[in-house]
Amino acid sequence: AQIKRLILETLPLGLMLILNTVMNRLDTVIVALTRPTLEVGWLGLSYRIYDTILVLPQFFLNILYPLMLGSASLSFRRLFSRSLQLLTLSALILSLLLFLFAPLLSIFGASMLPSVPALRILSLALPFFFITALFQWTLLAFHQEKLLIKTYAAGLLFNASLNLIFI
């Protein structure tokens, strides 16, 4: 009975994480199916750098989450507002730096320079990821996992459409 309850309680979060993973990797699958292996490698290098940066908001929000759960409405609003400001500013700075310094991929060899456009495109997504991460944790704090599933499903459809158009 406890295992069944645990599965039912965690299923929405698990489904949201699966949708998120598919949404964030769909372009890699499409590239792998339609392009030469070398291009998949270039995209893979760009993603390794991008994924490394994406841990920053997650670390911050892992620390913030217990505070979110224990906050009264007024202090929660302040906490949310300040976190949003910090994440937005951080993301914009990191996005700009990543975009500008993407050509430094040449330190891995001149053959990696074709990774620059993909890394620049990914750099533009950083602010969206940083900000949506805060909304994700906020919805989790308010037990709105089902809304997260709908949001990530819509994001997956939007992302799939863009990938099919531009890849």
pLDDT band at residue 100 under the 50/70/90 scheme: very high
What's the distance, Cα to Cα, between the start and end of the chain in Å? 47
Answer yes or no: are the C-beta atoms of 49 and 119 closer than 8 Å: yes
Instruction: State the pLDDT confidence band at 167, using cuts at 50, 70 and 90.
Output: confident
Q: Would the pLDDT of 8 be above 90?
A: no
**What's the pLDDT tens digit per position in 40-63?**
999 999 999 999 999 999 999 999
Mean pLDDT (whole number) for 26-31: 94
Give the distance from CA 152 to its chain's centroid: 11
pLDDT tens-digit profile of 55-95? 999 999 999 999 888 877 879 999 999 999 999 999 999 99
pLDDT at 107 over 80: yes
Report pLDDT digits (tens) over 110-149: 999 999 999 999 999 999 999 999 999 999 999 898 899 9
Three-state helix/strand/coil letters over 10-72: HHHHHHHHHHHHHHHHHHHHHHHHHCCHHHHHHHHHHHHHHHHHHHHHHHHHHHHHHHHHCCC
Residue 38: exposed, middle, or buried by beta-carbon count in 10 A (0-12, 13-18, 19+)? exposed
Q: 135-160 burial, b for 16+ CB within 10 Å, e for fewer? A: ebbbbbbeebbeebbebbeebbeebe
Q: How far is CA 130 from CA 56, 85, 120, in A?
A: 9, 11, 16
| Structure confidence at residue 70 (pLDDT) | 83
Query: What integer pLDDT is reported at residue 97 of this predicted model?
Result: 98
Place of tokens 């939007």: 158
Percentage of residues in the chain with pLDDT exceeding 70? Answer: 100
Whether 108 shows a pLDDT value over 90: the answer reads no
Rounded CA gap, 45 and 108, in Å?
10
